[in-house]
Amino acid sequence: MGINWNILGYGVGFGLMDALSLPVVKAVSIGANPLWMILPTLIYASIPSLFLLALRQETLTIMNLVWDLTSDLVVTVIGLIGFGEQISPTKALGVVFSFCGLALMSYESHTVNEFLSRNYRAVREALTTN
C-alpha cells in the first residue's frame, strides 16, 4: 500500500502533454500563428499508445481520473501564472480538492471486496454480536 508512483508518473506525463498543448491552443485563439496548432496535434496523436501502456498498470477509471486531475492542476497553474487568469476563492478551494483527489486516486489500497474477504470472519462476528 502507498502511493503508486507509476500511475502518478503517467498522470503527470499526460498532464505535461496538456501543459504543452493547451497554451498553444490558447495563444492561437488570441491571435498567434495558426501553424502552431501542429504541435498540439502531434502531441495528442501520441496519447493512445501511451494510454495503452498506462492501462496495463491501472484501470481505465482510475487512469482517466489521474490524467484529468493532473492536467487540471498543471493547466490551472499555467493559466494563473502564464496568462494572468484569476479564479475566485471558491474555485481555488476546488483546486485544493482536486489535489486531494489526485492524492487519493494515486494511493494504492485494497478494494472493498479484498478487504471484506480478508476480514470476513471479523466482520461477520462484529455483525452477529450486536
Query: pLDDT for 63-118, tens place per residue?
Result: 888 889 998 888 899 889 988 999 999 999 999 999 888 888 877 765 555 655 66
Dihedral through CA 30, CA 34, CA 38, CA 41, nearest 10? 50
In terms of residue numbers, what domain contains 6?
2-129
User: How many domains are there within the chain?
Assistant: 1
Phi, psi of 107 (to 5 degrees): -80, 125
Query: pLDDT for 15-46, tens place per residue?
Result: 899 889 988 999 999 999 999 999 999 999 99
CB 18 within 8 A of CB 46: no
